A and B are shown apart, each in its own frame.
Chain A
């Protein structure tokens, strides 16, 4: 018996060393380590100004202001153009601002309003000196203290933001204008409806393809479908990449998203729902199967003892 345990120890040690070498060690050598900022956006300075939502609303909805391009469903301000036409005009459909205050970090929003290309970390793509302007115009101020006005705008966005948001809405707002999620039945034009007639379905598909063509031209390639990205990339990669795409893929045309930590968790929860849907079922069935085999082994051990009685 002692000898068997010794042999088992040798086999177990070799197996564990083998596992360590081909999994944790190999992966630590293959992927560079990137330190995240935990979605604090500490590189952007906070102005410390307290915003006034009422004044913010006036700034957002004023002439030639945000609502010139963005829709805000929360205050019944429709988008000036539909997704396809907006895509054709700007490369990508400008987001509806109803949920921005809930999804994105306040510091990031302030920086974004002030200098979009800088906040989004796409200055390598959009350089005014080369005549390449970011499609979102930067906010030059409405005549008063610009930092105060930005604080007001952010306060307004926070005031209209929904208190509760589903994981799917978080994905749709933060990622969904560039990335599809076919397992979640989401295209860049939102959730794909059920069509009664094939003709309508095809029309919708054509609309998606046309939008994707504009997106391709804007981004350089079609951003990947995210259905199963949760299993294709590690959690650490996704976290640092979403926070700052340049940290993992220098030169990528994907902008920093500006998600708050809570927003990021919602997006990850949605990606887990579509990419790893068996997670809850595994948790339920796993212990039962393991208990079964532990009992099985116990009974088998008794049977073995019985059968080997008198053999030694």
Chain B
């Protein structure tokens, strides 16, 4: 056993047993972040804060929510909204948070794509981040089932039906997933379990992994510059903070993060109090009714682009396209053949690829919500084909890219 001296303070006592001083140094005061960054580098902490809000509001909601097909709808819309003190606040934070978290995830993702932050040793940062995107998607979908409104029910019906695999007609698999022929009690309870236990555990695990993957390759910077972190850290510790290319996570990086978070929370709570409707679809305020299909069934906005890749094709082709679209972003570090780690603006054709991809995903998102008829169908089909054309073009244009 280690030898323990008598401690003179609580801090010292803890340090002897937990090495808190070392932890603080390694995780905060001497965790080095490049200085050459902009506010987009705060999106990670903004996401962590939003996840925190979702977790806390979720815990409060969990105390009153009833996972039962008879009572779920009213436990959300009556008990929580009327009888529980500030229940409405927790619910609106949870609903708005679930939507806004995807906006920040997409900003975070496209920031990574723009600055090439998935390359040269940073592949795992990208892959664990994509893992988080998938886990958040599953979390969002399972959560959407819980109020047991019309859109919960019918979205559950449509999405679980995808697992029949088109012409494979694997209805046995669909029934196994639902625990019934149609969404019912078994379905609701298992999505409840996924939403409040299994998926949050997966997300927390992936967040730890995502932070871990940053450690060795370090955070990227605005110019994709590759410099010696040890040397920069030495300069900083010697007091040459102006010459050094790094800043410590605590307190310098955090000081900026907290400011960005403050501004973000102004927007966030403006939405919570004055503009929450966008995050809570009106259709879901009709109780689930298996005999009444809503006129329009569409997913939440953050799934629309991939939904639109499914829609314009025939049944089997659509499913294959959809399946590829779900995983293709994982392949980004391996399909980008260029050595350059630099902002897209300096990378020749990749610059156009980036903006084309962003605009294409935006168009797919628009079309995904519109009724599938007339010109919308044509635009949707072209945008879906363009999506695949861009991915096929990526290795070709990046291979030809000039080395910077």
Interchain CA distance A29-B272 in the complex, whole Å: 26
The reply to whether B274 and A304 contact each other, CB–CB distance below 8 Å, is no
Q: Is B286 an interface residue (CB 8 A)?
A: yes
Q: Is B217 an interface residue (CB 8 A)?
A: no
Q: Is B214 an interface residue (CB 8 A)?
A: no
Interchain CA distance A282-B269 in the complex, whole Å: 11
Residues of A within 8 A of B358 (CB): 14
The reply to whether A304 and B255 contact each other, CB–CB distance below 8 Å, is yes
B124 CB to closest chain A CB, in angstroms? 26
Segment touching A, from B195-203, B227-235, B361-369:
B361-369
The reply to whether A304 and B256 contact each other, CB–CB distance below 8 Å, is yes
Q: Is B304 an interface residue (CB 8 A)?
A: yes
The reply to whether A293 and B269 contact each other, CB–CB distance below 8 Å, is yes
B contact face: mostly helix, strand, loop, or mixed: helix
Interchain CA distance A14-B283 in the complex, whole Å: 26
Q: Is B182 an interface residue (CB 8 A)?
A: no
Residues of A within 8 A of B252 (CB): 307-308, 311
The reply to whether B251 and A4 contact each other, CB–CB distance below 8 Å, is no
The reply to whether A278 and B263 contact each other, CB–CB distance below 8 Å, is no
Given the contacts A11-B107, A228-B285, A290-B273, A297 and B362 also touching, CB distance less than 8 Å? no
Contact with A along B96-123 (1 / 0, CB 8 A): 0000000100010000000000000000
Q: Is B370 an interface residue (CB 8 A)?
A: yes
Q: Is B17 an interface residue (CB 8 A)?
A: no
Given the contacts A22-B365, A29-B370, A300 and B255 also touching, CB distance less than 8 Å? yes
Which one of A22, A294, A308 lies within 8 Å of B255 (CB-CB)? A308
Segment touching B, from A94-102, A154-162, A230-238, A262-270:
A230-238
Residues of A within 8 A of B255 (CB): 300, 303-304, 306-308
Residues of A within 8 A of B4 (CB): none
Which one of A234, A281, A300 lies within 8 Å of B88 (CB-CB)? A281
With both beta carbons as reference points, the residue of chain A lying nearest to B287 in the complex is identified as A225
How many interface residues does B have (CB within 8 Å)? 51
Interchain CA distance A183-B365 in the complex, whole Å: 36
Which one of A183, A275, A310 lies within 8 Å of B241 (CB-CB)? A310
A229 CB to closest chain B CB, in angstroms? 8
Q: Is B337 an interface residue (CB 8 A)?
A: no
Contact with B along A276-311 (1 / 0, CB 8 A): 011001100110011001101100110110111011
Contact with A along B246-286 (1 / 0, CB 8 A): 01000110011011011101100110111000101011011
A94 CB to closest chain B CB, in angstroms? 29
Residues of A within 8 A of B38 (CB): 3-4, 7
Residues of B within 8 A of A303 (CB): 255, 258-259
Interchain CA distance A26-B296 in the complex, whole Å: 11
- Listed by A's residue number, 28 A-B pairs whose Cβ atoms lie within 8 Å are A11-B40, A11-B107, A14-B362, A18-B365, A21-B365, A21-B369, A182-B74, A232-B285, A277-B81, A278-B88, A289-B272, A289-B273, A290-B270, A293-B265, A294-B266, A296-B262, A297-B259, A297-B262, A300-B255, A300-B258, A300-B259, A300-B261, A303-B255, A303-B259, A307-B255, A307-B256, A308-B255, A308-B256
B-to-A contact residues, CB < 8 Å = 35, 38-40, 74, 77-78, 81-82, 86, 88-89, 103, 107, 241-242, 247, 251-252, 255-256, 258-259, 261-263, 265-266, 269-270, 272-274, 278, 280, 282-283, 285-286, 295-296, 301, 304, 358, 362, 365-366, 369-371, 376
